[in-house]
Amino acid sequence: MPKKLLKRFMPDPRAIREHKYLRIFGPLVHDPNLFHLNRRSASGAFAVGLFMAFVPVPFQMVLAAAGAIAFRVNLPLSVALVWLTNPVTMPPMFYSCYKVGAWLLRTPPGKFHFALSSGWLMTELSTIWQPFLLGCFVVGSISATLGYGVIRGLWRLNIVRQLEQKRRARRQRQDTPPPQP
């Protein structure tokens, strides 16, 4: 994964340290290693961020920050990846998680009509919580594992390509004769 590309989209570390919800971590957020960008920190951040994106609770950013601090991976990347679940993507993602959980538990997925209310949420959640949470855990774990592996592989591929370009450039310099006076 090109380091320059990721750095271009990363927020300012100062803005992250001063975020009102991340102040609960106090001096832990001031660790400079949480803002380094290398193969280990980026792939770990993808794993933490993707897993936390499938945790069906509010304030996933705080959970992602806690995971980044615990595993000492890139904090801004972990927090940013949580935004994969946003108001537009959340319904299809969580419905898919429910379907996966129902399939794993071998229960037929129930039919329900969505209504945006706390009463509907409590009523429906009391009947679908087991397949829903199991599906969220399984899909989150799989996406975290795949994200970790893909980022490590892409980063390695990028390094190999850069080394090959340097070798080619070195060979070209050696093969071209020096300029004649």
Average pLDDT on 82-99 reads 89
Residue 174 has a CB neighbour count (10 Å cut-off) of 7
Find out whether 18 and 58 touch, Cβ atoms under 8 Å: no
Q: What is the pTM of this model?
A: 0.79
Q: Tokens 């100062």 appear where?
A: 14
pLDDT tens, residue by residue, 91-102: 889 889 999 999
Structure tokens at 96: 């898919």
